A and B are shown apart, each in its own frame.
Chain A
Amino acid sequence: MSIFTKLITAIRGGATEAGEAIVDTQAIRILEQELRDSKKALNDAKTGLTSIMAEKMGVDRKVKDLNSKIKEHEGYAIQAMDKGDEALALEVANKIADFEQELNIQQGILDGYDSKVSNLKKVIRQTERNIQAMDREVSVVKTTEKVQKANDLAAAKFSGSNSSLRSATDSLERIKERQQQREDQASAAMELESEENGDDLQARLKSAGIVDSESSGSSVLERLKKQKQSGQ
């Protein structure tokens, strides 16, 4: 079973239970046990790899040893032949044949170790990846569970027994209302400010004599008189 399948089982198992718990704690415990088993298997595989590599080195030495012995005896055989001692040369050649036979066997063993080592390395890499993935998933599931607990707590704090308060659309409405209120307040404040600024400006213009300080009967009469004079 893949990790995802196990997780879905764990979550579904929890979801159908009465109450709010989403994660089947039993399933999580099983996952964690599997995780521990995988880690142990990984350790075993690593130990296995070390001893196989040690054995392989032993065989490797034997192969090298045999190769050098063969070379050495080939030299002896040639020397025997050079001296015309056929019988001795044959004896040495027989010895070389024995070495070669042994070399064949040991080389076969060495090749076997090579493929064993590369297989074991693959298994270790795969197991490590699986463990990492499982670690991550278990941690996410646990986190999710904690977040849900937190949310339940918040829900209880927030609405008490009134569940309608928790309705998403109601909440959205409230947020929008608050936002609108804020905007209204802000625009009202801005309006007020501009009015105040306007009054202030008017006052300053008046005091500077740029704008008539008071529009009174006498000032109007004065203006009309001026108009009449210029019209004449």
Chain B
Amino acid sequence: MNNVKLEQLMNDLAENELSDGTKLSIEMFDGENTVACIKVEDRDEFPIYMTVDEGQILCITYLFSDEEVDPAKRAELAEAMLLMNVMIPLSAFSKIGNQYIMFGALSPRASIDELLHEIELLSDNVLEAIATMSDYLKEAA
């Protein structure tokens, strides 16, 4: 049932674009048909993974891994993320395994416009977050 819902969301998204006309490319990502991968035009590096279950629609983007964090600034990074969390519209920081992520959650009953808004904000927030958090990351090789 959730797969049906996910497929329906994917179709709806494919027929739409973001408010500034940016296009989305969407594909089912795994063999089990449970994770959709959404790429915002020109921002392929930070795909958004979308899943649906009874409780929520989850949109997740990976930011960076533990290895990219400057070990001396790890605590500061965590503090900065906690402080920023409330102020970021609709998105929040979290961690999966050794990867820092940014995510947004919606009600499964959310409209397609709400989902598009969520994706747009998440994508913008991710770029903002990485620009801000780069102070705590190792110098790029």
Contacts and interface: CB of A to CB of B under 8 A. Distances in A.
Interface of A: 14-15, 20-22, 135-136, 139-140, 143-144, 146-151, 153-154, 158, 164, 167-175, 178-179, 182
B140 A169 contact: yes
Contact of B137 (A20, A140, A169): A169
Contacts of A20: 97
29 contacts: A15-B97, A135-B54, A139-B55, A140-B56, A144-B60, A144-B96, A146-B30, A146-B51, A147-B35, A147-B51, A147-B58, A147-B60, A147-B96, A149-B30, A150-B37, A150-B49, A151-B62, A154-B37, A164-B141, A168-B63, A168-B68, A168-B137, A169-B134, A170-B140, A171-B46, A171-B130, A173-B140, A174-B45, A182-B42
Given A14-B97, A146-B35, A169 B130 contact: yes
Contact of A151 (B32, B49, B56): B49
Taking residues whose C-beta sits less than 8 angstroms from the other chain, chain B's interface range is: 35 or more
Interface in B95-110: 96-99
A168 B34 contact: no
B53 A143 contact: yes
Given A150-B29, A154-B37, A168-B137, 16 more contacts: A21-B97, A143-B34, A143-B58, A144-B96, A147-B35, A147-B51, A148-B97, A150-B35, A164-B140, A168-B68, A169-B64, A169-B140, A172-B131, A174-B45, A175-B43, A182-B42
Interface of B: 29-30, 32, 34-35, 37, 42-43, 45-47, 49, 51, 53-56, 58, 60, 62-64, 68, 96-99, 127, 130-131, 133-134, 137, 140-141
Contacts of B29: 150, 153-154
Contacts of B43: 175
Contacts of A144: 60, 96
Contact of A175 (B30, B42, B140): B42
Contacts of B68: 167-169
B127 A172 contact: yes
Contact of B45 (A14, A136, A150, A175): A175
A168 B58 CA distance: 21
A179 B42 contact: yes
A136 B55 contact: yes
A171 B93 CA distance: 18
Contacts of B140: 164, 167, 169-170, 173
Nearest to A147: B49
A121 B17 CA distance: 50
B41 to A, nearest CB: 10
Contact of B96 (A22, A170, A179): A22
- Most chain A beta-carbon neighbours within 10 Å: one of B54, B62, B134: B62
Contacts of A158: 45
Contacts of B32: 146
B73 to A, nearest CB: 14
Contacts of B131: 172
A182 to B, nearest CB: 7
5 closest A-B pairs (Cβ-Cβ)? A171-B45, A22-B97, A168-B64, A150-B29, A150-B35
